[in-house]
A and B are shown apart, each in its own frame.
Chain A
Amino acid sequence: MARHIRWTSLGVLALILTGLMLTACGAASTPTTAPPPAATGAATGAATRAATTAVSGGAATTTAPRATTAAVGSAVAGGPTKDVKVGVVLSLTGDSQIYGSPQRQAVQLAVDEINAAGAIPGIKLVPAFEDDAGTKDRGITAFEKLIKTDNVTAIIGPTLSNTAVAAFPVAQQAGVPSLGVSTTANGIVEIGDYIFRDSLAEAQVIPTTIKTAKEKLGLKKVAIIYGIDNAFTKAGYDVFKKACDDNGIQIASTQTYTATDTDYSAQLTAIKGTNPDAIIVSALAEGANIAKQARELGIDAKVTIIGGNGLNSPAYIRNSGPAGEGTIVGAAWNSTNDNAANQKFIAAYKAKYNADPDQFAAQAYTGVYILAEAMKNAGPNVDRKTLRDALAGIKGLATPLGTFSFQADRNADHPPVVQVVKGGKFEVLK
């Protein structure tokens, strides 16, 4: 009898342990274990790439052929290169991977281009990707690992503002310059002088969005729905509210939801009852569901949906389907931006990934180039402090986002664009 009990207890314990192990395995994302191809300075990797570029002649370099040996040896513009590690913290799993995935691809593309062209004299960029799964805890852990264990010189990311407000203080304290490429809430760069971002804040984009929407649509009365427990969606609400007040638009109803909600019909019903001209949705991935459920409730297509940066993703269009047609979203970037850097970026991204880039990709790509420019200015012996100072001085850089500069407060400085979803694509609102 005692033996019987012992086996059963062991069995139950085994079950629990198996479950916990599988959960841990599932959560450990492959990106952290699988090294990004060719950019990490593995000897053979560099050799093959050097060989192919020599054969195809397609690389952007015209200088001396690249050496084939490991970290030390690449002869670029007459000198050995140093590996400079840059941490990249993105939401590679979870709901926000719809933003993090294109970001990762864009960063990889930029790094490959920069290293291939030897654009930073004496320096080879080595990205170290970490997945924050869209949560604060994982973000902090990722930052600490990159700073203390991997000794990175700078960090790009994280994807969400919600994560950034928790993780950036870690970087600020350690004196590691960090560049947000999609963080648009308020209170980000205020964390400290080592924190930068190339993503226009909601506070910079939304006022233009509302003003333009009012001009084109004649808005008088709107309703707002936003997520009450996320820093980004809440900050978005604050800016939208102020913009409406500034433009004399009446807010007929304000509704909130929480991150665990899946059914928004109660809130949307209340909104429908106020007969607004437009519904402002400050949301992340759930924005598509909100749009869908709104239309299902009978909220007519005449009632425009206006969104913050969370809706600025092809995933929104894909997931909302016909319900998303006509949505107005302010943006920092649109594919029709006709500057040379943008054309080059779009072509290269399409060629490499067989997909169109979105704003998240554009800003991430630009982020790498901004870092590269700063490293160039700081010189091959760049360290965390000199890189920070160099970043602060970036002005008039040609990027897919347009001519880019940092403001004195380390926010991005370039004009936003207002988009509308037409025919399943983001077009500029005319």
Chain B
Amino acid sequence: MTLLRVEGLTRRFGGVVAVDDVSFTVGAGEIVGLIGPNGAGKTTVINLLTGLLRPSSGQIEFNGARLDSLTPHRIARAGVARTYQNIRLFRGLSALDNVIVGTHLRTRASFAARLAFAPAVRREEAEARETARALLARVNLGQREAARATSLPYGEQRRLEIARALAAQPELLLLDEPAAGMNPAEMDVLIALIRSLRDEGQTILLIEHNMQVVMGVCDRIVVLNFGRKIAEGTPAEISRDKDVITAYLGEEE
């Protein structure tokens, strides 16, 4: 079943059309890749999906409900989580604390109860801690829970971000260039992680430059160039598509 439906999505900045009439879908349990040369509009699409930008026109539908007029807070509530191209961890907090903050959406105690440190709250906080621990282990960072986020090596920070995004138990996980700046070893770990997430049924929309990662994990790929969708299909289809090859001519990855 279709989890995400994007139709005629357009975004203008003054005279520049950054995203031009883009339409695609993401089915439940799929990993869809969103690729294209630099400046193709991929990050803009993600920002539109998470509510940081409003579309100039077009629709975004998630689980049957309209997303394009919602605030980021509401969209997160609806079950969409993302990671960032430039890592946006809370640097002053520990790895574990970062993930705990990520569990915020899935907690139920009211503000007043929190202030009173009611027993229900204490239980919930303990649960959040356990959840966070489990997630850290999931991304292979179990040993690093007390480390300050800034002190982690680059690859681990990326995985920490993914753990934090997962803490909100999202239905749709948006990964914005998770492999950027990684060495081959880190990339292998990342690919394995993404695959294992899909095996558990997590739906993922992946923006990525790195073809090795894209080809290795995606079920389907959507290709953008100059804000427009120029191709869509399986990895095999895309690698043979003439327009895609032309767009990437001269681009090394």
Q: Quick check: do A and B touch in the complex, using CB within 8 A?
A: no
**Taking beta carbons and an 8 Å cutoff, which residues of A are in contact with B?**
none
**Taking beta carbons and an 8 Å cutoff, which residues of B are in contact with A?**
none
